[in-house]
Structure 1
Amino acid sequence: MRRLIAEFEKQSFTQIIFPHAKSDWVDYLEEAQETFVNIINAITKYQECLVVCDDVESVKSRFKENENLYFVEYETNDTWARDCSALCIEDGNSIKLLDFTFTGWGSKFEASKDNAMSSAIKKCYDKELKKVDLILEGGALESNGVETILTTSECMLNKNRNAKSSRDQMSKKLQDEFGMSRILYLNHGYLAGDDTDSHVDTLARFIDEKSIMYVQCTDESDEHFGELKLMEDELQAFRDEYGFRLIALPMSDACYFDGERLPATYANFLFINDAVLVPTYGVKQDEEALEIFKETFPTRDIIGINCFSLIKQHGSLHCVTMNFAKGVEII
């Protein structure tokens, strides 16, 4: 049996790409680096973390000695590990790493170094890395670990990715690569300021085999209200047909930088072993969101991480990290 391992399952380590002066973080580099340090320190209290960085000695000096912290030197274009890192599948009795093609979200940005990263650092993994001839970003799909992949048609079927693939053809490709029998598409939902063409990890997430957390907008004056209500209707239809449980997360108050609304979303949380890291943005909904996570995950620690600096570059906590499943080791 082949399956895309779910993020809520046991993990071996988290991979993260540290911001550097040649990345888009340059205008507020120190602020961004401090946020990444906070994320890494939170992760390494629970599990190992592999940090990809342009200068190992410089980045290493920011941390105390930590047996859960590993570094590998490689210069990337940017730092969105979720979208350019390998994905873990279980294939029979073994775990394999799939390396898809990353084009900077439909060739919006230069991404050749990011696309080459997994092959360049494959020496760090003790499992086989397989190159897959398909344009795909990790943030574009959610797995329940059994039979279902949740994605969005705006991203997965966008002609700026795999232009020759119809919906049926794309579904077949996903089924073939991941071994999952059910591919569900959300046709609605977006966040202002998002460059990804509506990645599902900003909107709706599996938290177990039968439960989906999603962003709910109740403010009719908010520009997102119509689309997120239609998305909620779609999720309710999935609930009715497949028996999913739905848990609503609040919509953050609008956050701005240089006059632009930013994609602040609590759906961009991160699972690690025994904990959930939750992005916060310095708005009143932060406390409500954290309470929902505490109620939903009573056996996990809930840790808020201020991610305002991340949304300045149009992503958040989940976007800058990638989980590797238990059984994959750093070497």
Structure 2
Amino acid sequence: MIIDKEKDTVYFSEHIRTNYEFRSAFDRIKPILDKHQINYRFLSNTKDNWCRDYMPIQISEDKFIQFRYEPSYLKNDLDLQSNSQDIIKHNGLKAENSSINLDGGNVVNCTDKAILTTRVFKENPTWDQSELIGELERLLNTQVLLIPDITNDLTGHSDGHVRFINNSTLMVNELQNEYLYWKKGFERMIKNTGLTFVEMPWFEYQDKKHKHTAVGCYVNYLEIGDLILFPIFEVPRNKDEQALNVIQSVFPERIIEPININEIAKYGGLLNCATWTIKALA
């Protein structure tokens, strides 16, 4: 699979620069991308400020897989469910379609592995689980690994829990405060695969107006080529300094740009969620 370090183009939903709530956050993102000469574009016909989940997954330079986008968490909010086929058509993109219901935020990958949560089984109840994994491995052309789905998490995506540092090492939310069943499931996957991991600090932030805030989740950063846009939160009891120390230690040769986008984070996602990245055809 194409990895984030190989990608060179970032897409955003048009809403991120037209919606007054998110425009100031994008105004802080834009100069960083300009500074490092990162190509960025905007998708039309989207219904909210998110981007990753309804867009295709890039397998190789000229191969994209478009999964069905009908997440259960939007079943009562269909006005927010973007139509991936319309978006692909209106933006001049091409992809191979799959009937499997899968969000892009639930696929975290290196070159030869992809990590999904078990939410994929709940979203595809008519599939035999082993057959589903087999078909995903065929489509993604990689080994599929599973970590538990946190049941009270709205989306159940893997990109809020883990990221690949390289093919043999993961970054994971610090385990000591995780649910015991999630920790056991993650450790089982590690034992079965031989992967190693580095823990990233995280914290819970209570927001009375926004139940599903992502404030406190550092692993949901944007990686594009040698650049990492890294979320910091600047709220009471944050772990910004510790988190920056970790990201700088595991990516010493990368450009780390800290950025506060709490206007977006309070709605449940961060930089990986709000972007779609590709390696453009030469």
- Give the shorter-chain TM-score range: 0.7 to 0.9
Q: Find out whether 1:179 has 2:152 as its counterpart.
A: no
- Distance in 1 of aligned mates of 2:133 and 2:270: 27
Give, in angstroms, the shift of residue 272 of structure 1.
1.1
- Offset, 1:254: 1.7
Partner residue, 2:200: 249
Between the two proteins, the alignment pairs up a number of residues equal to 276
Aligned partner of residue 256 in structure 1, secondary structure = coil
Kindly indicate whether the alpha-carbon contact (under 8 Å) linking 1:18 and 1:36 is maintained by their aligned counterparts in 2: no
Q: Letter of the 1:10 partner, please give it.
A: E
**Are 1:10 and 2:10 counterparts?**
no
Partner of residue 279 from structure 1, selected from 231, 254, 278: 231
Match of 2:162 among 200, 204, 215: 204
Task: Provide the C-alpha distance between the structure 1 equivalents of 2:201 and 2:67, rounded to a whole number of angstroms.
Answer: 32
Aligned pair in 2 of structure 1 residues 195, 239: CA closer, same or farther (>3 Å)? closer
CA distance in 1, matches of 2:194, 2:175: 23
Q: Give the whole-Å Cα distance in 2 for the aligned partners of 1:189 and 1:195.
A: 9
- 1:162 counterpart (124, 128, 140): 124
Query: CA 1:234–1:20 in structure 2 vs 1: closer, same or farther (change >3 Å)?
Result: closer
Q: Which stretches in structure 2 are left out of the alignment for 5+ residues?
A: none
- The 1:30/1:238 distance shift into structure 2, 3 A limit, reads same
8 A Cα contact 1:217 1:251, kept in partner: no
Q: 1:112 to 1:170 in 2, by over 3 A?
A: same
State, as a whole percentage, how many aligned pairs show the same letter: 19
- Mapped to 1, the partners of 2:222 and 2:37 lie a distance apart of 13
Deviation at 1:278, TM superposition (A): 1.1
Q: TM-score, normalised by structure 1?
A: 0.75
The equivalent residue for 1:30 is 20
Note the C-alpha offset of 1:51: 1.5
Secondary structure of 2:62's partner? strand
Contact 1:213–1:246 (Cα < 8 Å) also in 2: yes
The answer to whether the 8 A contact 1:254-1:261 is kept is no
Looking at structure 2, the residues matched to 77 and 89 of structure 1 have their Cα atoms a distance apart, in angstroms, of 26
Is 1:304 equivalent to 2:258 in the alignment? yes
Change (3 A) 1:313 1:112: closer
How much has 1:19 moved relative to structure 2? 2.1
Provide the C-alpha distance between the structure 2 equivalents of 1:205 and 1:231, rounded to a whole number of angstroms.
16
Query: Relative to structure 1, is the Cα distance of residues 226 and 97 closer, same or farther in structure 2, using a 3 angstrom cutoff?
Result: closer
Q: Which residue in the other structure is 1:195 paired with? A: 154
Distance in 1, matches of 2:210 and 2:104, equals 29
Q: Deviations over 1:24-76 (max 9, x none)?
A: xxxxx434111123223323424211112xxxxxxxxxxxxxxxxxxxxx232
Could you say if the C-alpha distance between residues 173 and 122 of structure 1 is closer, same or farther in structure 2, counting changes exceeding 3 Å?
A: farther
**Aligned CA distance change for structure 1 residues 40 and 103 (closer, same or farther; 3 Å):** farther
| Alignment of 1:134 onto 2:134 | no
SS in 2 for 1:251: coil
Instruction: Report Cα offsets for 1:196-248 as digits up to 9, x if no partner.
Output: 1x100001111211111111153xxxxxx352x44333333333332212010
Scaled by the length of structure 2, the TM-score of the pair is: 0.87
**Following TM superposition, by how much is the alpha carbon of 1:250 offset from its aligned partner in structure 2, in angstroms?**
0.8
- Aligned equivalents of 1:138 and 1:259: distance in 2? 23
Q: Secondary structure at the match of 1:263?
A: coil
Per-residue deviation, 1:298: 0.5
Change beyond 3 A, Cα 1:291–1:46: farther
Hey, what's the Cα distance between the residues in 1 that align with 2:17 and 2:162? 33
Using the alignment, how far apart are the partners of 2:21 and 2:49 within structure 1? 14
Cα pair distance change 1:273/1:129, threshold 3 Å: same
Which residue matches 1:258? 209
What secondary structure, in the 3-state scheme, does the structure 1 residue paired with 2:8 have? strand
SS of 1:287's equivalent in the other structure is helix
Q: Does 1:270 align with 2:266?
A: no
Residue 253 (structure 1) shift: 4.0
More strand by share: 1
Q: What SS does the corresponding residue of 1:303 show, helix, strand or coil? A: strand
CA contact (8 A) 1:16 1:51 kept: yes
The alignment status of 1:81 with 2:51, answered yes or no, reads yes
Letter in 2 for 1:156: V
Match for residue 246 of structure 2 among 292, 301, 316: 292
